[in-house]
Amino acid sequence: MSMTRNAKKKTREQLNTRFGIVLIALLAVTILVVNLIVFSYSWFTPASVEGEGLSLDKTASIRSESCTFSTYQGVLVTSSNHSSYEGYYMGQIVYGNSPIAENAEITIPAATTDGDTVTPGRVYFRTNVQNSSTEYPSVISLYHHQMLSGVGVAITYPSNTYHLTDDVYDDYFILRNAYVKVKDEADVNGPGLLQVEWFVENFDTTATKSIRVTRQTEGVDTPIEWLYLMYN
């Protein structure tokens, strides 16, 4: 009898232990499920905010392309003509008040000789480049449509260069990458003005040469711009 009661008691203890383990396992699973539900659920509704898109301005500019130009012929003051240019000193270049006219041909005198010394004939030019923009400066190059063969071309301002041509030179650059300032009416040196001073000289002692530096409309099917600007 005693052994039977002990066996039954042991059996009940084993059942209670198993029931406790199962109960603990179920409780752990329940806690896990509740945690997953709580942390995955959003208790807040996000507010709707109207956004602003980005745009690209394709017309932005950092330089002016509003330059015009005109060219004036100059005369060298010498002992033979000094009386006609009072107030000017010997060796100074005096430029005309009116620009060279359209279709004009400028004669380059023949060179002169004095013993073994050859003095080339010269014509002097000043090309005024005018920027009309009050916001942006510009950078330009000045070209000649077709420079003559066998002449010397000198730039005296704003650079100091000299070049001899052995042949006819198409699209000859007179000045490259020159800065043209912003037009400012308070600028006493010329609002937005760049003055390019240059000359062409002839070494031929027997014949003159002729050059064009303005627009030609006569004697051609299509107008020719003998001087033109390029923006850099």
Q: What is the pLDDT of residues 159-171, one digit of tens each?
A: 999 999 999 999 9
- Average pLDDT over the chain, rounded to whole? 87
Instruction: Please state, in angstroms and as integers, the Cα–Cα distance from residue 214 to each residue in 11, 22, 85, 143, 163, following that order.
Output: 124, 107, 26, 12, 21
Query: pLDDT at residue 231 above 90?
Result: yes
Q: What is the pLDDT of residues 69-95, one digit of tens each?
A: 999 999 999 999 999 998 999 999 999
Distance, CA of 94 to CA of 78 (rounded, Å): 11
Angle 29-32-33 (CA atoms, 0-180°, nearest 5)? 85
Structure tokens at 17: 């232990």
Residues 6+ away with beta carbon under 8 Å from 67: 129, 130, 131, 132, 138, 140, 180, 229, 231
53-57, 129-133, 143-147: least confident range: 53-57
Structure tokens at 179: 């800065």
H helices, E strands: number in the chain:
1, 15
Give the model's pLDDT for residue 63.
Answer: 83
Q: Cite the beta strand spans of the chain per DSSP E.
A: 67-76, 93-95, 106-108, 112-114, 117-119, 121-131, 138-147, 151-157, 161-164, 169-180, 193-202, 209-211, 215-216, 224-225, 227-231
Give the model's pLDDT for residue 44.
Answer: 53
Q: What is the pTM of this model?
A: 0.73
